[in-house]
Structure 1
């Protein structure tokens, strides 16, 4: 009967043949075949000093857990130790962005000859700005996918109808890109200091050039409009007035360009009623 202090997957791995392990994506996770050692997660009670031993290395963690490295032949005997409550096989980790796209049914929507790519539409974001040098926001020829960038935090030439910030066109951004990062940022000095806006836009519309297409976003062939809201103030992020102006700007741009747009807003607050709808 399998040891009840050893998790089922680890029991299965130890009972499997080397050929069965080699075929599986999971059974050998945590096992180093070159030295025939396992890394396992141990839930224990009692003193840390009793976790190790000859050929056994233990790294005690908080909360009564430890990562233990030991020979496969010692696992059954190790589970018999009084302070050992449970032994678990490690699991493989994955990038959550890939899992999230699959769970959101994005991958099948993008797949095939008739898959949706965002081509022909605009994606707008009102956030902390964007790293416009990032490869995911550039075309294959190196030019920018960003058609307009309004940085509300930089004094200069605001868009028509507004009184703050500086608006940069695709032509200006392309010139900055051609100059290289050092000189280019003097021409277009807008920056995303927190990285939040860059990450958000990457999920929504990054083309994945930085990762060979692996980490591309949802509408990865769309053109981009970016608004960087005004600088954060003491004890505060940008204000709702700046958010409203940013959304207004994006809508006016899409009407002017006569193209559909999807706007991402990843800023918010906790104001308003919290009562459930009846």
Structure 2
């Protein structure tokens, strides 16, 4: 079921138990724009069925926030101009080269090209997989792109991110709403979850230059400005004390710096930044 944020912005909330990220709908006087396509054909179809209940203008654009499978595999269901940044376009090419029959999918899992969960969702939620081929994007931009839906402007920007190298955010100025995709999250490398510490401050600066009151995230759905500020503060507080691959030293530094123990979120972030040092040391 769609959630209404304003007269012009709706979103389909994330479902973590099915690896479904938040999907967005923005519309102006003439056109509608979709943010992310869903993790499979079925996810996209359900989103479109909900949109049909609204009196929204025709869908003209689909913006992909980044090239992870749960955001792109529903792409073929949208009769729209697909917009990506240049790095996302390169990463999508790998998914376009795949075959989606059971034997091929199992091979990709065995080669660590695809997760087991991804394979299972493809098998259950993409019909006619033997002939399935992911569509190509139509518009490729480098850094920024403005789209006017008819008295409703959307600003697209590729930003630095602790999650992926190809993150696009979408800001709607007159609504003070920003869609972040997964850019504010960490990532997993060699089975270690980590935040790319060197990109944390640049990422926050890229996001905070926009005057936003509501933040749509891929796997939390929606946060207000106060919630996001708490998130940024806990991340930066944790990052300041991590200067090596030693969790013990980082925790000691935290207690010396802040005269208290870290809360659960800060402890989680400290471990993630320590993991980033471990990964860089290898």
Structure 1 length as normaliser, TM-score?
0.23
Point out the structure with max Rg over C-alpha.
1
Structure 2 length as normaliser, TM-score?
0.23
* Higher RCO by CA contacts (8 Å cutoff, separation 6 or greater): 1
